[in-house]
Amino acid sequence: MVKFCFLIEIFLFILLIKNQELTIGIDPKDSQHYLPKKTFNCLDGNGEIPYSYINDDYCDCLDGSDEPGTNACSNGNFFCHNEGLDPKKIPSSRVNDGYCDCCSGEDEYNSGVECINTCSSEHLIKKTKNEKKEKLRKKGSNKREQMINEIDDLFLNIDEEIEKSEGKLERQKMKKEKLKQRKT
């Protein structure tokens, strides 16, 4: 009985590995189209193929949607999850081509090339750049506000000076008028 359970566990494990191979490179937003069933419908609607044809290294769908995880289709796309950084899609021709295109290196899962995961360091660089940009933007914004306040103060002073001059002129006119009246 123990041996039987052990065999079932091994079988389930193999199924899990096989399913992971079948679903590699799939955009999570399309994952509902790749659920294990008897058949798979090409995403462009032009064809129905057995589920086992997904990622079997042979291009069956015209839109390349059956081979997201291999480079069999020239027009397919591979989804890099890039955990820790932004996910992105790359042309599936770059899968296992010996060059690390995803920062996670997940596109080179079967080429023998060992990719260093650079997602965390790229994330740190991006974060530092964004912080610097934000700092500069705030500095610029504060400087602009300061200049606007200085210009406002300048205009306020000019208005006060004009008011003072107008008052002075008015008083002089009145004084002149009084002198005129006294003479007559």
Chain positions contacting Ca ion, by CB under 5 A: 53, 56, 58, 60, 66, 94, 97, 99, 101, 107
- Residue 115 to residue 102: CA distance in whole angstroms: 9
Q: Which is nearer to Ca ion, 11 or 94 (by Cβ)?
A: 94
Q: Which is nearer to Ca ion, 20 or 149 (by Cβ)?
A: 20
Residue 57, phi then psi, degrees to nearest 5: 70, 25
Helix segments in the chain, DSSP class H:
2-22, 119-183
Shortest spacing between CB 14 and Ca ion, in angstroms: 20
Shortest spacing between CB 41 and Ca ion, in angstroms: 13
Q: Which is nearer to Ca ion, 39 or 165 (by Cβ)?
A: 39
Q: Which is nearer to Ca ion, 13 or 58 (by Cβ)?
A: 58
Shortest spacing between CB 25 and Ca ion, in angstroms: 11
Shortest spacing between CB 48 and Ca ion, in angstroms: 13
Nearest CA among 58, 44, 123 for reference residue 92: 58
Measured in whole angstroms, the distance separating CA 31 from the mean position of its chain's CA atoms is: 20
- Residue 108 to residue 141: CA distance in whole angstroms: 45
